[in-house]
Amino acid sequence: VRESGEAGFLRRLATSRVLSSKPTIVDVGAHTGEYIEIAKETWPDARIFGFEPSASHYERLSAFLRERKYVGVKTYPIGLSSEAGTRTLSKHENISGMASLEARDLQHLGIEMTIREEVTLAQLDDVMAREGIDTIDLLKIDIEGHELSCLKGATGLINGRKIKIVQYEYGHAHVASKNSVQDFFNFFRPNGYVMGVIKPTGRLAFFERYDEFLELFLASNYVAVLPEIAVKFGYKNAAA
C-alpha cells in the first residue's frame, strides 16, 4: 500500500480537501489491515467499514485492530459480490495476498492455489442499507479479479452517484475473471464517472476515452471518480 501509490493518493485526497475530514470509507479486501492503517493515519476521524472473508486473514485483521484501538472502524468476516451466498476462496498459503474467488491458474509461476475455504458473500448495497449509509466517500476494492462482481452488487449506490471515488485494482487476476478494462469503462461511464489510474507517486492520470492499448493486465490501482471531484485533480474534460 505504501509503495504502490495508494498511500500517496490518500495523502493527496486529504491535502486537496475534496473529502470531508470525517469521510466514510469502505475497504473491500481488508486483508490484515494495511489500507485501514493508512486511511486512519490520513483521516483519524474517518468512519471505515472493512470486509475480509478469509478466516485466517480476518483473525489477523481483528488482532491488528484491537492493538491499534481505532475508533470508527467496523469489520465484517464476509466478502462482497454481485449476489449474496457462498463461494470457494482459493489461496496458496494461509496468509496470502493472492487469495481469490476466481479460479486462477498460476502454475507458470510455480504457485498452486490448493487451499480452499467456503466464504460468505453479500451485496454492498444491502450492507450499506442495513448500516444506514447512503453515501460513500471512498470505496477501495482489492479482491484479486473479483472487483467487477463486487461493483455489480453496488449498482444502487453507483447509479445514484452515491460513491464519490472508487479505487480498484486491475491486473493479472483479471485473466481468470475474464474482465477487461473496457468492461470497467462500460460499467462506470453511463453514470458519468471519470476513469483514471494511480501513478506510483500517488498522482492521478485520467483517461479521456477507452483504448485497446490499456488492456495490458499489469497490476495497477485504477479509479472511477465523479467529475466534480476529478476537476479538482486537473481533469479538463468534465463536460464530456
Beta pairing partners, 48? 25, 73
Asked whether the beta carbons of 232 and 16 are under 8 A apart, the reply is yes
**Does the structure show a pLDDT above 90 at 77?**
yes
Distances (CA, A) of 184 to 51, 62, 151, 162, 203: 21, 32, 9, 18, 20
If one counts every other C-beta atom within 10 angstroms of the C-beta of residue 113, the result is 21
Asked whether the beta carbons of 173 and 113 are under 8 A apart, the reply is no
pLDDT tens, position by position, 148-169: 999 999 999 999 999 999 999 9
pLDDT score, position 3:
65
Average pLDDT, the chain: 92
Q: Is the dihedral of CA 110, 143, 165, 7 positive or negative?
A: negative
**Does the structure show a pLDDT above 90 at 212?**
yes
Question: The pTM is what?
Answer: 0.94
pLDDT tens, position by position, 21-46: 999 999 999 999 999 999 999 999 99
